[in-house]
Amino acid sequence: MNFCRIYCHKSLDIGDGVMLKKSLVFSLIIILIFFLSSMYLSKQIVDDIPVIKATEGEDHNFAIYTGDGDIIYTQSIDEIKRSLLNNVVVKAGSFVTSNPIGIIENSPKERITDIKNLVLKSLDKENKVLIIYIDGLGYELYEKAIYQGNVPYIASLNRGIRALTVYPPITNVAFAAMVTGETPKYTGIQSRDKKPLLAPTIFDAASKKGKTSKIIEGNIRILTSDVETILNIDENNDGTIDDEIYRSALEELKNPPHILLVHFHSYDDMGHRYGPSSKEALEQLKVLDLYIEDITKNFIGDIIITSDHGMHDEEGGGSHGNFLPMDLFIPIILENHK
Ligand SMILES: [Zn+2]
Ligand SMILES: [Zn+2]
């Protein structure tokens, strides 16, 4: 009551005209604050989403990694701004997306999802396909290993195409994209959680054409797929399963299926432990180079040597899963053995 008495008394004293002017000034101040803060926010945007500037692209373009797991290519971006609800909005022509993971400028045109079509084309030509999947080998490290002489056999093959992998750049997410030709938005695999694949695989497509497929894997299946998978364990206890995987692959090559996918893990393991460009990790690539030489020597058909993601250095080792060029760029090497 006391408050009301003072307040009402005052407002009666000032009068209605003054009150109106005051509220007008007040509204103008609010509008000004709103206008200035939106200007400030839109200036902040560039720092808000990571933009990787790749150097080699022939065409100027952008690859937008959307928040729902897709990758959209565009020639230009019209606008990046922050909305009133604090979302980062990217507009490119009629395409609009909110809160993308990041943007790659001058992006490679090839992607991990192109592998499916490469395989299907080979099958249509009645060629068998051997996919050698070196876990964790990013494009930069592939180049470094060639330059340093760690992988003389791989260096003697066709030069690898620099391609994009999906986000997050982790094994099951990228493996799902590799074998389905779809981005995580459509594979249903967007994290380390074990979920059913929502898109058909190259193995499903091969089976429809009456062709056979096999995966040679470590001690666990990474994807929930019907494809026949040969699991391996570290029988000789030397700390890696890749020697067993190598021997399984040689065994399979005596009578290979139409698609054989061999998944090597040891480079990724050593990369995590010592760092992707460590002496230990690069020495392991030397071992894989010998395995790959032996395996491919015994194979007639199309060969794809690739990876799921790269890796970056971290305190005391290596890691991946970030929106970084070291994690997102992978090699795709294409060969044909007659
Ligand atoms: Zn991996
Ligand atoms: Zn890893």
**To the nearest whole number, what is the mean pLDDT of the chain?**
90
Alpha helices in the chain (DSSP H): 2-14, 16-48, 115-124, 139-147, 152-156, 171-180, 184-187, 202-208, 242-252, 266-274, 279-297, 325-328
200 in Cβ contact with 229 (< 8 Å):
no
101 and 119 both lie in a single domain: no
- Is residue 197 included in any domain, yes or no? yes
- Is residue 37 included in any domain, yes or no? no
292 and 167 both lie in a single domain: yes
Q: Please tell me the number of the ligand nearest to residue 308's CA.
A: 1
Which pLDDT does position 86 carry in this prediction? 87
Q: Please tell me the number of the ligand nearest to residue 169's CA.
A: 1
169 and 284 both lie in a single domain: yes
- Is residue 213 included in any domain, yes or no? yes
Neighbours of 233 (CB within 10 A): 10
Residue 161 exposed, middle or buried by CB count within 10 Å (0-12, 13-18, 19+):
middle
DSSP lists the bridge partners of residue 46 as none
139 and 230 both lie in a single domain: yes
Tell me: the pLDDT tens digits for 4-58?
Answer: 443 444 444 445 666 667 777 777 776 776 555 555 544 444 567 888 888 765 6
Residue range of the domain that includes 64? 48-105
The token pair that represents 305 in the structure block: 């040597």
Helix-helix angle 2-14:16-48, to 10 degrees: 100
Lowest mean pLDDT across 32-41, 229-238, 248-257, 276-285:
32-41
Rounded to the nearest angstrom, the distance between the alpha carbon of 236 and the centre of ligand 1 is 23
Rounded to the nearest angstrom, the distance between the alpha carbon of 311 and the centre of ligand 1 is 9
Q: Say how far apart CA 330 and CA 108 lie, in whole Å.
A: 10
66 and 121 both lie in a single domain: no
Report the domain count for the chain. Answer: 2
202 and 291 both lie in a single domain: yes
CATH code of the domain containing 281: 3.40.720.10
**Residue 132, pLDDT above cutoff 80:** yes
Q: How far apart are the first and last CA of the chain?
A: 97
Q: How many CA atoms lie within 13 A of 105 on its CB side?
A: 8
| Total-model pTM | 0.86
Look at residues 65, 88, 105 and tell me which one is the last residue of a structural domain.
Answer: 105
Rounded to the nearest angstrom, the distance between the alpha carbon of 113 and the centre of ligand 1 is 15
| Segment 118-131 mean pLDDT | 97
Tell me: the pLDDT tens digits for 91-124?
Answer: 999 999 999 999 999 999 999 999 999 999 999 9
| Segment 142-155 mean pLDDT | 97
Q: Please tell me the number of the ligand nearest to residue 264's CA.
A: 1
Which pLDDT does position 5 carry in this prediction? 40
Which pLDDT does position 58 carry in this prediction? 60
Tell me: the pLDDT tens digits for 271-302?
Answer: 999 999 999 999 999 999 999 999 999 899 99
- Is residue 273 included in any domain, yes or no? yes
- Is residue 26 included in any domain, yes or no? no
